[in-house]
A and B are shown apart, each in its own frame.
Chain A
Amino acid sequence: MKDMNAATTPALHIDGLRKSFGKTEIIRGIDLSIGRGERHAVIGPNGAGKSTLFNLITARFPATAGKVELHGQDLAGLAPYQINRMGLSRSFQITNIFSNMTVFENVRCSLLWSQGYKYSFWNLVSRSRELTEGADAILEQINLLNRRNLPAGTLSYAEQRALEIGITIAGGADVIMLDEPTAGMSHSETDYIVELIRKVTENKTLVMVEHDMGVVFGLADYISVLVYGEIIATGRPEEVRGNPKVQEAYLGAALEAEH
């Protein structure tokens, strides 16, 4: 992984990726390279295949054709936990936390593997100062320190999304993937979460799927536009926004989806 050309190997490389469900092809040949330390947003209207692409990258679904490489290593056939150990961490579109545990325990669980505890049954988690302090540091970053001891399920929606991001980054993965982190949020909540994402993904590779271009405009270094399973444009946010093809396709499809 840490070989000589580590600097030139993209963090994530997608090559000819295709996915069909039955006769319907949802992802129709995607090539994408995401460099290290880059914040890359994939945007597109509803039904464009954003979440499918996301699940293909994280090997939640097997791809019909093509491949995904993380730091130059093929991810085909790997289990989620193996991919996670290679340095990729993801969030879920539907909030996916451990709702019966406290907020603190949620974060502490996400630190365990990266701190080398593995399947240990001879350590007590409460005895580890690194775990407690590490978890509290994450909680401070995501501004949930005052919710520390509440069951995670009792948090507000926005707080749960923040916790989800906290869990995703806690393990120290260098590639962070967020699936519509601002879905279902008000404007002020969205601004808050975007700011939070900017803060916690400092010096990391971020891949983020988003419905609304406005949300990612100030955040992403690059934007790819996905329409009907194909990427129709990739580039700097200004270029993409000015691209007439994007405007047409994106607006057209968005209007269509509304009817």
Chain B
Amino acid sequence: MTDQLTTDPAKPAQRMRAGSMSITLMPWIIASLLLLFLPFIFQANSAITIMNQMSITIIFALAYNMLLGQGGMLSFGHAVYMGVGGFACVHIMNMDDFFANIPLPLLPVFGGLFGMGLATIVGAFSTRKAGTVFAMISLGVGELIAACSVIIVAFFGGEEGISGDRTYGMPFFGVEFLQQIEVYYLIAFWVIISAALMYLFSRTPVGRMANAVRDNPERAEFLGYSARWVRFYSFVASGFFAGVAGALFAINYEILTEENLNLVTSGQILLVTFLGGVGFFFGPILGAIVFTLVQTVLSLQTELWAFYAGVLFVATVMFFPGGLAGVLMMHVPAMRLGKAKLLVVPYIKTLLPALIGILGLSALVEMVFHFRHAATGDHEMTLFWTTFDSHTLLPWIVAVVITVAAFWLMRMNMPGMVAAWHQANTVGKDRA
């Protein structure tokens, strides 16, 4: 890059965009319309289930990123706030007289309050320090509460968990939420509300100071803010929205178990958030969408989906620490210069072979898995719409050749892509 890319503060439009963080409504309107019309495109019940799962994960991941991305707090036990919110809501569902007077769409408020209540108690001591101390306390509290689930059976229902029935609530304008699609719109409503509130939170004084404390707690203290209290408020707010996600989980699945509290779930949300990108508000949304698709769609295709999810995570951490959102936002300067189109052909020339190479590699992984773990005598496997015998040499040779050739092609085209990248990000006339 020869020239630094700068926004010109003299132009009011750019001043608004970069400096004062004006609230543009456009992304919100698009997201709302998308949520409104998605069920008309994907009508299958299984698709609705996936979208519900996705929306719940989006809220949870956004809540998690209030800590990780906005506040610089790495939590290993955030599932407990979602879980406790969810458990509380199942109990409310089971309180017949009380629940009969509550419209179901209001239930997430209760979930949120329970999540927030727990976060207030835990945050009171865990937010004193960030960094390792905070991470260790979150891990300890997470494990503690997960362990409670088998001890305090009255609340957590032991190993089988507790279940309820969402339809016992007060009918909401005649809707009793018997259908998946009704639940879909309830969850969609809460996704928009929660995301908007979390976005606005990041634009308040305490939200801005959360960023300041994340970057430099000592400096923030010399600006009059107690780093600890700033962390505490973020933590409590995050607990509220995690609780909302838990309530929606309770509404959608009508059952909560120990799994909703344990460290696996806590680790998963860290993975989702990081995959999407912690540096941008919309990062966790991308992460939740991609991860849910991997978890649901890919898991139908292969038993090894968790392996691929793990590889994706490691690759993200190593090569794209900004996550998916970071990769997208990398292209903004080129877009502003109007040079993004320079990248299209080089991208296809490099990334298409890369994709084929990755698919070839995964084919080899699948073949090894089949060769080692299929029932004895079962030599036939189907991969990419082709059926073959995994115990003969030919499929192996084909897979290896395709993989090696694809990666070779990728390497050959890489310098061209790098050159195009620099050109697209340089101010001034193109070199003809």
Query: What is the interface of chain A, defined by CB distance below 8 A to chain B?
Result: 58, 79-81, 84-85, 89-90, 92, 96-102, 104-105, 108-110, 112-114, 117-126, 132, 145-146, 148-150, 154, 167-168, 171
Contacts and interface: CB of A to CB of B under 8 A. Distances in A.
14 contacts: A80-B221, A80-B222, A84-B222, A84-B223, A99-B215, A100-B211, A101-B211, A101-B212, A104-B20, A105-B211, A119-B229, A124-B23, A149-B14, A168-B222
Contact of B19 (A102, A118, A167): A102
B216 interface: yes
The 5 A-B residue pairs with the shortest CB-CB distance, nearest first, are A113-B224, A149-B18, A80-B221, A117-B205, A98-B215
Interface stretch (B1-9, B152-160, B331-339, B355-363): B1-9
Nearest to B7: A149
Nearest to A132: B20
Given A80-B218, A112-B209, A119 B224 contact: no
A79 B19 CA distance: 31
A45 to B, nearest CB: 27
Interface in B161-210: 200-201, 203-209
Nearest to B4: A154
Interface in B223-240: 223-227, 229-230, 233, 237
A168 B209 CA distance: 16
A126 B211 contact: no
Given A90-B222, A110-B223, A98 B212 contact: yes
A56 to B, nearest CB: 15
Contact of B208 (A81, A109, A145): A109
Interface string B232-258: 010001000000000000000000000
Nearest to A108: B208
B204 A123 contact: yes
A109 B9 CA distance: 19
Contacts of A89: 222-223
B223 A121 contact: no
Given A81-B225, A112-B225, 12 more contacts: A81-B221, A81-B224, A81-B227, A85-B224, A100-B211, A114-B224, A119-B205, A124-B23, A146-B9, A148-B15, A149-B15, A171-B224
A121 B206 contact: yes
Contacts of B216: 96-99
Interface residues of B, number: 39
B224 A125 contact: no
A245 B124 CA distance: 55
A124 B204 CA distance: 4
B341 interface: no
B22 interface: yes
B21 interface: yes
B71 to A, nearest CB: 13
A151 B23 CA distance: 20
A132 B19 CA distance: 9
Contacts of A105: 19, 208, 211
Interface centre among B205, B220, B227 (most CB of A within 10 A): B205
Contacts of A112: 205, 208-209, 223-225
Contacts of B233: 119, 121
B219 A125 contact: no
Given A84-B221, A98-B215, A148-B9, A121 B204 contact: yes
A102 B7 CA distance: 11
Nearest to B21: A126
Given A126-B22, A149-B18, A149-B19, A109 B209 contact: yes
Contacts of B212: 98, 101, 109
Given A132-B20, A171-B224, A119 B219 contact: no
Contacts of B14: 149
Contacts of A104: 19-20
Nearest to A120: B205
Contacts of A149: 6-7, 9, 14-15, 18-19
Contacts of A167: 219, 223
A112 B205 CA distance: 7
